[in-house]
Structure 1
Amino acid sequence: MTEHKQFRQLGGASDWWKGAVIYQIYPRSYQDTNGDGVGDLRGIINRLDHIATLGVDAIWISPFFKSPMKDFGYDVSDYRDVDPLFGSLSDFEELLNKAHAKGLRILIDLVLSHTSDQHPWFKESRQSADNSKADWYVWADAKEDGTPPNNWLSIFGGSAWEWETRRRKYYLHNFLTSQPDLNFHHPEVQDALLDMVRFWLDMGVDGFRLDTVNMYVHDKHLRDNPPIGDKWVNGIDPTNPYSRQEPKYNITQPENLLFLERLRKLMNEYPAVTTVGELGAVTDMYGFIAQYTEDGKRIHMAYSFDFMTPEYSAEHIRGVITRMQERGGTGWPCWAFSNHDVPRVVTRWGQGAQSGAMLAALLTSIRGSACLYQGEELALPEATVPFEDLQDPFGIRFWPDYKGRDGCRTPIPWEAQQPYAGFSSAKPWLPIPAEHLPRAVSEQEQQESSDLKKIRTFLNWRKTQPALVQGSLSFVDTPDTLVAWVREAQGNKVLCVFNLTAEVQTYTLPANATALTGHGFATVQQGNQVSLGAYQAFFAQLN
């Protein structure tokens, strides 16, 4: 579409994504407009003003494709259509047009590693060994004793193999049994997926978040995975049996990179588009990030799960950034503290809602791009969802040691005084906790220094600071209660200091520092001494 091509070229910034802030929307829980208790695309349209005023650059929308919703959209039955639960293709096109009109780019979430078992491809594939889709999925014979072909495990529990009586074979599923894995060794599978990517690019989307980007290709020889030993599987809860074996053969195969090179070649036909990949269940996160984001060859960005653990300290923050800088290669990093799969950061890091604005500023001050998950702008804590209200099959299976992902997926509270917090006119698909109501948008808009206003002020101010958008990063020595670094671009240096605690901390400024204002954080300065209150941030120009 001509208008979208023109939008992509606005400002001539083909690398707009470098240093961008990407706002993730989980559409089921954003805004319901048709009274069924589930958010929809029109709800996103209705809230575009809220998003635009935040100062973010793009929206990443979790899957809205046709799906039986066994894994809430991450089980796709039609890649080229919108599930009626969320609306229609015309609704998406309207969203795209209106977002572009507000200067917001749209990334959509592509699930390429697997489909739903209700996808027409799999329905055909499972029927026989001689149909046109027979080899589009990963099929394997049982061992002589009838057991699965190897020891590979599903992330969602149990064997990664499911028996299909019609084929008298097992099929591979890295997640639910209803999410069969596609066979990327088959060239027609790759061609079909790339053709689908072109469909969305032609419609005008500005890029893709790639779900499980390292899980596309499996070992052709189906070799057993070895025990984990002293390694750790990044992003996998230690209560999950999956964490006990090294995922050496089931995922992250060398051929995966070859497919991504094909994908990048296609992406390069379109101006100013991007990809950000989720690299999950790996034991060498930064080595793989370097491979997957090699400059100009494969995906544009990938993010680490190291900030999505419970560990919170200056040492940890410095360590993660240092590992990315030293081992992340030539690619551009992308960071996230929260998403739809992990407990919300203000709870997970144990600092409470009062830390929310500082954490958002810290996240978006690291060299790289950043994904801000819906509700982070409100400093929402993790919700406690009773077992009887759980929807997540992952949580239901591993309860109570692992409570699943529903606690970070509860609906956004828009209007504290309205039924269901203004999210819907009907009972929502997940309950809205009472403790979220004081943090509703309606309440924070009325408060002089709410987290919403602080974060909005900071993100809009950040856009005026080129060093914070695309500058280099070098650490500054501080006590363990603080973390600080200098961002530099074209000779412009900005000192960033963050108080990680609920106690007042003092920082001694270098002689060439001049405090910056307008970022929304309050500090007290006497001479070269800066006093940072609980969870405050400080920024200065270094002359």
Structure 2
Amino acid sequence: MTAHIQTTDQPWWKGAVIYQIYPRSFQDSNHDGIGDLNGITQRLDHIARLGVDAIWISPFFTSPMRDFGYDIADYCDVDPIFGTLADFDALVARAHALGLKVTIDQVYAHTSDLHGWFAQSRAGRTGDKADWYVWADPKPDGSPPSNWQSVFGGPAWTWDGRRRQYYMHQFLTSQPQLNVHNPDVQDALLNVMRFWLDRGVDGFRLDALNHSMHDPALRDNPPAPDDGSPRTRPFDFQIRRYSQSHPDVVPFVERIRTLCDAYGAIFTVAEVGGDLAEQEMKAYTQGETRLNSAYGFNFLYAPALTPTLVADTIARWPDEPGMGWPSWAFENHDAPRALSRWCKAGDHAAFARVKAALLVALRGNAILYQGEELGITQVDIPFERLQDPEAIANWPLTLSRDGARTPLPWSAAAAQAGFSSIEPWLPVGDDNLARSVDAQEADPASLLNFTRSMLALRKAYPALRLGSLEILVADEARLAFRRDYGAQSLLCVFNLSDAAVPWPLDIPLTGMANVCVNEATIGTLPPFGAVIIEESRRWPGS
């Protein structure tokens, strides 16, 4: 690999590669079968060696764990199963010493019903926090205030006998909806953000941000047209026009940006799903007064990785003034592992390489989920071992999120794959033992070492981190695009199919191949082949 490294004046997060850590499943340091903050600290060298820029840690806050940390009982403390605030401070210090930025989840749409705020709110209709959650009277017949449905099944309203009102919850009944329309609630959430910024955090992922505000008039959602796909939840029968996605999210986003700007180069990325995801992602990131980035579910639930999917998705985020900066993830803790979705078992090794090369080559930030660098596949969790409340409620029609949350295999020969000394909260999965970190460290041709080389390439070439992207070819199998930044020009050519295809006629057979994936060469594209070519140096206007 030949690199022409150029310095840039862009913030650290632009074009960054971010490694997502699901703390329950990363490393258990205290032998209880559950990963923890000290376990993360012990294994940060592995992440730093990958060559990523930052880590993103999924929730580790005080919680009853009914939704595994996304039901927060105290925003400003660490749950004892994960450690202490001192452990978190040590993690941040070690990460910074290794050159890694630290980003954490923030969940502002709801809390746990065990949060002190909710205890005060449900105590009565008067008081400082009476309007901190979404409460409403029943209809005259005693039924819920609207027809809204929860993501996890059933109405989005639960009766509370103490207030003699319904409270709203878009997920579990134990996750009451915060009234983020209330300026006092916004102030409290911004104070939470200050708490973590003061502890050295470098950025935030804002979970389900478009779920944070509802229609105050509580209008019924209209029915969703039947598109022929299976609908396993009442939630799927509605267009969520009024239960989420209120326009007032944007002014709150601007308050978040103002606060983060006061702390310097802090990275903010919104997770946005739903029918209006693209529209909302762009609204939340437009201009210089809103969030830095957003990512949706374009790839996370896609049944196949196709050239047309990639080309269409990238084309929606052009390099234009005022347009936000995208982030892309092929995997995360909520979606089935990509290899299990996108290719046959016999193609896993080859497909994992072309997938890694593509993620690194896309314009935007790249989010790498723990184990993706090893080629971890989805684990089939038997019903009696399920932990995921959504999977349990909808079994067997909903594919369990647990299968993508299994412990990381550090050592194939060690007990519990080196994750813990006792049986972990979820099984490692026999198929993933052979993909352990120690086995791949020893193999120069492993996916782990290939991923390191791809991340090094991205770091060496500003054209990959920051450059424009021009789609040249996107047909049934072939994807080709050019990345330009100043004098750098890279051609990226991919075959996303399991059969050899001809080299695209319009792609020149000149230049130097920096990366050849699965025995591809300039001019040949075997199954799952890819080539990244450094063209003769192109100058602006040439």
Does the 8 Å contact 1:290/1:329 carry over to 2? no
Counterpart Cα distance in 2 of 1:524 and 1:310: 25
Q: Secondary structure at the match of 1:210?
A: strand
Corresponding residue of 1:170: 166
Distance 1:150 1:479 in 2: 45
State whether structure 2 residue 289 is matched by structure 1 residue 297: yes
Q: How many residues align?
A: 525
Q: Secondary structure at the match of 2:517?
A: coil
| Per-residue deviation, residues 214-266 of structure 1 (Å, max 9, x unmatched) | 1111111111111123789xxx9842221211111111101111111111111
Kept in 2, the 8 Å contact 1:286–1:324? The answer is: no
- 2:528 and 2:38 mapped to 1: Cα distance? 36
322-331 or 106-115, larger mean C-alpha shift: 322-331
Q: Tell me how far 1:530 sits from its aligned partner.
A: 2.3
1:358-401 C-alpha deviation (Å, 9 max, x unpaired): 11221121111111111110111111000010000000000101
Moved more, 185-194 or 343-352: 343-352
- 1:364 alignment partner AA: V
Q: Equivalences for 1:149-168 in 2 at 5 Å?
A: 149-168=145-164
Structure 2, unmatched stretches of 5+, are 1-6, 537-542
For 1:514, the equivalent position in structure 2 comes to: 511
The CA deviation at 1:123 is 1.0
1:216 partner amino acid: S
Q: Which runs of structure 2 are paired with 1:485-524 in the superposition (5 Å)?
A: 485-508=481-504, 510-511=507-508, 513-517=510-514, 519=515, 521=517, 523=519
- Of 307, 312, 333, 2:299 maps to 307
Q: Which amino acid aligns with 1:306?
A: N
CA contact (8 A) 1:523 1:538 kept: no
Letter of the 2:292 partner, please give it: H
- The one of 245, 251, 260 aligned to 2:238: 245
State the match for 1:187 in structure 2: 183
Given that residues 336 and 371 in structure 1 are in contact (C-alpha distance below 8 angstroms), is that contact kept between their aligned partners in structure 2? yes
Q: Return the alpha-carbon distance in structure 1 between the equivalents of residues 61 and 196 of structure 2.
A: 12
Q: Counterpart of 2:309 in structure 1: which amino acid?
A: H
Asked if 1:105 corresponds to 2:72, the answer is: no
Q: Which amino acid aligns with 1:409?
A: R
Query: CA, structure 1 residues 522+348, in 2 after alignment: closer, same or farther (shift >3 Å)?
Result: closer
Q: 1:183-262, aligned counterparts within 5 Å?
A: 183-229=179-225, 238-262=231-255
1:204/1:117 Cα in 2 relative to 1: closer, same or farther (>3 Å)?
Answer: same
Instruction: Give the equivalent residue in structure 1 for 2:386.
Output: 390
Q: Does 1:147 align with 2:143?
A: yes
Distance 1:392 1:113, change over 3 A: same
What pairs up with 1:523-534 in 2 under 5 angstroms? 523=519, 525=521, 530-534=523-527
Tell me the SS of whatever aligns to 2:304.
coil
Q: Is the contact made by 1:142 and 1:169 (CA closer than 8 Å) also made in structure 2?
A: yes
Q: Write the letter of the residue equivalent to 2:201.
A: V
TM-aligned CA deviation for residue 478 of structure 1: 5.4
SS of 2:198's partner is helix
1:347 aligns with 2:378: no
Query: Percent of pairs identical after alignment?
Result: 49
Provide, for residues 247-287 of structure 1, a one-character-per-residue CA deviation record: whole Å limited to 9, x for no partner.
11111101111111111111110111111100122x23222
CA contact (8 A) 2:288 2:322 kept: no
What secondary structure sits across from 2:332 in the alignment? coil
C-alpha separation in 2, matches of 1:222 and 1:524: 57
Residue 539 of structure 2 corresponds to none
Amino acid at match of 2:278: Y
1-side partners of 2:264 and 2:129: how far apart? 34
Residue identity in the other structure for 1:439: R
CA distance 1:12–1:328, change in 2 (3 Å): closer
Query: Of the candidates 452, 457, 464, which is equivalent to residue 461 of structure 1?
Result: 457
Q: Distance in 2 between matches of 1:329 and 1:248?
A: 26
The alpha-carbon deviation at position 481 of structure 1 amounts to 1.7
Residue 324 (structure 1) shift:
3.2
TM-score where L is the length of structure 1: 0.93
Task: Tell me the TM-score normalised to structure 2 length.
Answer: 0.93
Judging changes above 3 Å, is the alpha-carbon distance between structure 1 residues 515 and 121 closer, same or farther for their aligned structure 2 residues? same
Equivalent position of 2:260 in the other structure: 267
Structure 1 residues 392 and 237: CA distance shift in structure 2, 3 A = farther
**Post-superposition shift, 1:477?**
2.1
Correspondence for 1:475 among 457, 471, 476? 471
1:461-504 deviation line (CA, Å, top 9, x unaligned): 21101100000000112552221100000131100111212333
CA distance in 2, matches of 1:210, 1:482: 35
Structure 1 segment 9-20 matched on structure 2, within 5 A: 15-20=11-16
State the 1:441 CA deviation: 0.8
Separation in 1, partners of 2:43, 2:9: 26
Of residues 390-399 and 319-328 in structure 1, the stretch that sits farther from structure 2 once superposed is: 319-328
Find the counterpart in structure 2 of residue 319 from structure 1: 312
1:326–1:542 CA distance, 2 compared to 1 (3 A): closer
Match of 1:378 in 2: 374
**RMSD, aligned CA:** 2.0
Q: 1:284 aligns with which of 276, 285, 295?
A: 276
AA aligned opposite 1:148: P
